[in-house]
A and B are shown apart, each in its own frame.
Chain A
């Protein structure tokens, strides 16, 4: 022993010497933790900020008000309001004439450019109006038409006047026309009647999410109808009925593994099994829902099992004690008591499914479908895929429409998750 034992006094002095440094180290770690959380929260806020600032304008767009002469002869030549007759009519021409009377374009070329100011959906709009209200015929009514997306982008300031004419998509002449319309007070910026009611369209000013939204709902219903009963049944079987043996262990391992399989792989399976082997059609919500159901199944099973496990054995004993059979115990006591937990898990699973994109691309729900699907057998698309497709389009206006669609999607996801949290809080039972 060449060194003396350290006395308490020496120890105290030694600690005092080092304490400042150690305290600052401690504070540094705390600071790093704060910075990390701050960064994560900043990312989140920035993400929401960038989506919302882009997205809110997407719910609005520019309209021009024109005086339309509802001349029955010209709009509805056959006079029976049929699609054919309206198609043969000259609605577009009437709109153009009304437009020309205000901005007075000179020459063929100028007229051609002027026509493009108003969205190409003008004839459809007139057709819809007269179908809804035939009494419009013979009147001169003010009608609002969406402006073409380039004009819209110009009015929003994305296309700048200062840019040399050759480099911008709106010519000087057209800018002159738009200015004239503006002076007349005919251009208004209002809530878009396309974004929520319109369907997929190559013209951004007419594009809307209705088709994708209905597709999402159909797909989600199929997914729910398959995964909820299956998930609950599996959970009940594994927790309450099955004996713990190799087979049930194998099933459990399988379920855990399925939860880890990347979603795109489920899409490949759907493609290879449902479409290629069973010969089901592509792009339909039925197949999409089935694929998503298999994907959400592990989530539902795992949360349902946790909920069942949380039901105390005393409840089961009490029921067995008065002579209930196993199934009566399960269906009369265990499942009702575990239901809040099961529902919470199911809602969270559904939220996952609602936001999922990749597997649906695989089974062809990415097709450009204008028609709104009426049943699970009609080709359709879903909101996230619609977002994916729009994000790929070049037109400037699609960025706002995409962001608007994202806001709708996030709105649904947040309310679903909020519902799950509410359910858990409200129905949670403490044993």
Chain B
């Protein structure tokens, strides 16, 4: 463990370019508290349009907490309080007027553990379009389901058993089902909270490939434990430490020429 105080002076300043020209989501001076504990400390960052960005950092650094701020999933936790501003197309999502339901329809989420509903594969994917009233008729809904499963790369594997339960699939298939479920509501941004941590390497590779493809259409924020994964899927990377955003930059640069000593310490395996 490197002695932080001696190495750094400007603890509050993030190194690198936090801003983006074509920003979809903008977080400004975000603080998150659990009760009296501060989990996120003054984070500012932009998420660009059709950009895949990775959040990396040691466990407990707050990257997942920060991710959940973007679609207000932290609302479900009573003791959680958020300060600062996050805007989606210049609208503050923490404004009192904003309804979380349409917000979450625009910003989809994929969770750490695959969590398909205990329903059929079809119903899992059709759930979102149904509750939001996206389809005009049954045929249209079928189309949406098929399209989403195809884009999640699952169609070939499950098209003959759409009515069997989603919980019967393998872990990797379940996670792709969850991704299909998320894209079925046509979101603008997809948040992924360590989507591969519960999967084996082969399933992980498939998901990474999928993220890569989806990156052409959506803004994707992915929280990951694995630096290799960040390197493979994302163009930009943000490094978090103890609730602070330490460094942001092009993935290549972060991994080859980290500017912040702490980033370097993490990448070289000294913190972890």
Contacts and interface: CB of A to CB of B under 8 A. Distances in A.
Query: In the complex, is A directly touching B at CB under 8 Å?
Result: yes
Interface of A: 1-3, 5-8, 10-12, 14-19, 22-23
A16 B188 CA distance: 15
A18 B133 contact: yes
Contacts of B188: 8
Nearest to A1: B143
A407 B63 CA distance: 59
Contact of B140 (A3, A7, A15, A17): A3
Contact of A8 (B101, B131, B143, B187): B187
Contact of A11 (B99, B134, B140, B147): B134
Contacts of A12: 102, 105-106
A11 B102 CA distance: 9
B197 interface: no
Interface of B: 99, 101-102, 105-106, 131-134, 140, 143-144, 147, 185-188
B105 to A, nearest CB: 5
Nearest to A5: B147
Contacts of B143: 1-3
B101 A11 contact: no
Contacts of A22: 101, 131
Contacts of B102: 12, 15-16, 19
B147 A15 contact: no
Closest 8 CB pairs of A and B: A11-B186, A15-B102, A18-B133, A8-B188, A15-B105, A6-B186, A15-B132, A8-B186
30 contacts: A1-B147, A2-B143, A3-B143, A5-B147, A7-B186, A8-B188, A10-B134, A10-B186, A11-B106, A11-B132, A11-B185, A11-B186, A11-B187, A12-B105, A12-B106, A14-B132, A14-B133, A14-B134, A15-B102, A15-B106, A15-B132, A16-B102, A17-B133, A18-B132, A18-B133, A19-B101, A19-B102, A22-B101, A22-B131, A23-B99
A3 B145 CA distance: 13
A26 to B, nearest CB: 9
A2 B132 CA distance: 21
A13 B188 CA distance: 13
A177 B187 CA distance: 90
Tell me if A's interface is mostly helix, strand, loop or mixed. Answer: helix
Nearest to A22: B101
Nearest to B132: A15
A6 B144 contact: yes
Nearest to B105: A15
A7 B217 CA distance: 10
Nearest to B102: A15
Contact of B101 (A3, A10, A15): A15
Contacts of B187: 8, 11
Contacts of B133: 14-15, 17-18
A258 B187 CA distance: 55
Contacts of B132: 11, 14-15, 18
Given A3-B143, A11-B132, A18-B132, 8 more contacts: A6-B144, A8-B106, A8-B187, A11-B105, A11-B186, A12-B106, A14-B132, A19-B99
Nearest to A10: B186
B87 to A, nearest CB: 15
A1 B144 CA distance: 10
Contacts of A11: 105-106, 132, 134, 185-187
A71 B38 CA distance: 89
B45 to A, nearest CB: 22
A14 to B, nearest CB: 5
Contacts of B140: 3
A77 B147 CA distance: 110
Nearest to A11: B186
A421 B140 CA distance: 58
B204 to A, nearest CB: 27
A1 B101 CA distance: 29
A28 to B, nearest CB: 15
A17 B105 CA distance: 13
A12 B105 CA distance: 7
Contacts of B144: 6
A11 to B, nearest CB: 4
B147 A23 contact: no
A5 to B, nearest CB: 6
A7 B186 CA distance: 6
Contacts of A8: 106, 186-188
A6 B144 CA distance: 8
A16 B99 CA distance: 10
Given A1-B143, A11-B185, A6 B101 contact: no
A61 B148 CA distance: 80
A18 B131 CA distance: 9
A3 to B, nearest CB: 6
A407 B143 CA distance: 67
Contacts of A2: 143
A19 B105 CA distance: 11
Nearest to B129: A6
Contacts of A1: 143, 147
A32 B105 CA distance: 26
A15 B147 CA distance: 20
B77 to A, nearest CB: 19
A10 B188 CA distance: 11
A7 B147 CA distance: 13
